[in-house]
Amino acid sequence: MKKKKINNVIKFPDKITEVERKVEAILFAASEPLDLETIEKRLNKNTDVLKILQKIHLSYKSRGINLICLRNKWSFRTAEDLSNSMALQKSTQKKLSKATIETLSIIVYHQPVTRSEIEQIRGVAFASNTLDILMELDWVRPAGRKDIPGKPIQYVTTDNFLNHFNIKQLSDLPTIDELSSAGLIDSSSIDPSIFGTGKFFKDQAISKKENIYSEIDTTLEETSSDPSSKTEK
């Protein structure tokens, strides 16, 4: 009678190279996502960092933490299917006001956008600390000035905003129709202009048209009141 040969060989993971260990350590110790250039500066110039990152990404794919790429920046994160069980429930002393939430929504869907444009979309002015709160959270940042008289500052969302809400890119944000069909909002009670439907720009176009007509009326009035323009009988 033949004895069955039992295979007791334990298969260990493939041995990683020293440079792969360094990349792994750099990412683990980083306080924020890192781009290729930042990682390359800490390694030899001849290192194919992207290839190493892709290898580490695959090796961590089925583990409790994953290596992800967000806007060309790499970082370790808790696996998405485990994030709920790892989340810490804690009460916050300060809640975001309705004005702050609306302001953030407008910036998200209209960026880059100025303060006056935000106020025109909302229909009301807002407190000066509203933007300060969003910038303190590192969800919003200044992004240059708009090339119009007065050169007002424009505001956009940050990478930390995407990171906080687990969004890879702005195009992944839901539309008002998607939110409404999911039962998350009542579209009949919400101004759709907040979601970038173009209402603001339509209003601007109407305003410009009205300005043209007012200028024509002013010109006609000035012409009729000018004695030199009257013909002698």
Same domain, 164 and 111: yes
Same domain, 58 and 127: no
Residue 205 lies inside a defined structural domain of this protein: no
Which pLDDT score, from 0 to 100, does residue 17 have?
Answer: 83
* pLDDT tens-digit series, residues 193-205: 555 544 433 444 4
Q: Tell me, rounded to whole angstroms, the distance of Cα 34 from its chain centroid.
A: 17
Which pLDDT score, from 0 to 100, does residue 201 have?
Answer: 38
Same domain, 71 and 116: no
- Cβ atoms of residues 26 and 59 within 8 Å: no
Mean pLDDT of 135-163: 90
Q: Is residue 67 over pLDDT 70? A: yes
Domain count for the chain: 2
CATH number at residue 54: 1.10.10.10
The domain in which residue 69 lies consists of 18-78
Residue 147 lies inside a defined structural domain of this protein: yes
Beta bridge pairs of residue 74: 34, 69
Q: Is residue 187 over pLDDT 60? A: no
Residue 200 lies inside a defined structural domain of this protein: no
Residue 208 lies inside a defined structural domain of this protein: no
CB-CB neighbours of 217 under 10 Å: 10
Same domain, 51 and 103: no
* pLDDT tens-digit series, residues 19-48: 888 888 998 888 888 988 888 888 877 788
Same domain, 63 and 132: no
CA-based R_g, the chain, Å: 29
Same domain, 72 and 114: no
Residue 55 lies inside a defined structural domain of this protein: yes
